[in-house]
Chains A and B, each alone.
Chain A
Amino acid sequence: MSLDKDTVRKIAFLARIRVPEDALEPLAGELSNILGWVEQLSEVDTDGVEPMTSVADLSWPRRQDVVNDGGDAHAVLANATEPEAAPGGEAKGGFFTVPKVVE
């Protein structure tokens, strides 16, 4: 499997990672190499094999469906990346802020 520059650009957008135009071509080469190398899995017959969903053969306990945490808005917002907030300050008005999303 070989990836071209346009495919890399598309994946990068899906992953929301800006990749400079001049890095797309080398990245396409690296990713193609990795994919070419993992391609060897196709030689193994896996018909009828269940995909693994858990490494441990245990039954995990389930917690009660009750509220067991919360009410810590201050702690939750303490690390908010809010450029306009005062240094060390809390996000504006107790909210996370993002660029305008509705015109």
Chain B
Amino acid sequence: MSATTSTIVNLPDQRTATMPKRDYLNNEHGLLSWLFTGDHKRIAILYLISITFFFFLGGIFAGLIRLELLTPQPDLVASDTYNKLFSLHGIIMIFLFLVPSVPATLGNFLIPIMIGAKDLAFPKINLLSWYLFMAGGVLTLTALVTGGVDTGWTFTTPLSTHYLNTNVVTAATGIFIAGFASIFTGLNFIVTIHRMRAPGMTWFRMPLFVWANYAASILMVLGTPVLAISLVLVALERTLGLGVFDPTKGGDPLLFQHLFWFYSHPAVYIMILPGMGVISEVISTFSRKRIFGYTAVAFSSVAIALFGFFVWEHHMFIMGVSNYSALVFSLLTMLVAVPSAIKIFNWAFTLQKGSITFETPMLYAFAFIGLFTIGGMTGVFLGALGMDIHLTETYFIVAHFHYVMVGGMLMAFLGGIHFWWPKMFGRMYPESLSKLSAVTSFIGFNLTFMPQFVLGYLGMPRRYHAYPPEFQVLNVLSTAGATVLGVGFLLPVLYLGWSLKYGAIAGNNPWQATGLEWQIQSPPLTENFTEIPIVTQDAYDYEWLANKTEHEVTTVG
């Protein structure tokens, strides 16, 4: 092993290295072997391909939105078309990309391996989950090509039930079905983590990625059904004329808001928690230290999940809810900042005096920490009752949740994909190109969304495609940033695709990481382990890894 301090990457000698003869990718051949697979790793790949498709579809809508906003006049698309663009951007990005992003791809692939199991508890339900996701996706696409939907991603009543003549029912059915995909993924994770851990893998020896996904699974299982029922009621109201949300029949539209946000606020944590899990793994590996305050970080995931259920009304402060309940929900909202800060501070302490190296996943992790902190802090602005009245329904909100979801979650997703790419496919991505793309995304992201904070503060409302001319400079900056961001997202697809065939052979453990997934071959066997491991070490125990490596060298050599 070389004594260089700039990198910890340890690849096998490329002249002699070979890919494993047998792994989960070449175990069986043909399309059908993929479509009927029960292997969690193959299902993860299926999910990865599908969500990448939906990500770029949603990205095209985002591009069109930014293009329209380049000029103050409504000149590129008609008002109705613009409404459809931002609705479909939101629906696709949230339900078909962000919610399944880390759990269904990386979580599916890694959780069984990380806890020393051969598969998830219910492989067939796992496959069913992918089919439900695809059915939901196809229905959403159907709504798209048959005329679109323009409710916004929130399906707000009575707009969605009475005043629109677009494909609300089709889109809602799509989301309803995709919701069950999410429920099944969460259910599978919870049962697997409870019942399938290898001998010695106690709760507090699990990697923090598993903890984070466990917390997100609780939210998926408890929250998603409530979304499902509120969408069912919207559909019934449109088709059969039921009146649960209809004031003329005695119903209350605000009830829809309560039910919808009871899921959709926790959904934010469904999206961000697995990303936080990725960051824990990456930070530990590239600073060669156990995560500072492991227990606190583990419990902060669960705390975020728990608090997440008691803050939903902060989406409704201006909708005529009682002042007293608004006060309580504002305080509870502030409470979420505590576990989030616990994570950020503990990651910072992990970095302190660590042997930090700057590989691509680490660059993404740094981007996450900075951008998520900005996103989280601006969330505190919005949770404050007085500020919220000024800022709500403006571009400030748009900037806030993009900082959390794109700056936070998407950076974590990309970091995770780079980090585990060698494990998933056995080959390395090109390092300098990927660093370039990480930096490009970071610059492009800030250029896109930083001006939107200012725009929102100055009073530019969201969801309009025309604006006063004095806002144009900031909007042009934002659109320019979106172009840079687009390049930053397109690059990984190209070079990751290239690396599948031409990348350097990674070997079992290119990062010298401690997780169980790094102790097996890459790409793994279908059964993951030839022999179920017996776990005797804590997570992130680098001494254990050093001893083990030394031992291997002496016995083999």
Same complex: no
Taking Cβ atoms with an 8 Å cutoff, the residues of A that contact B are none
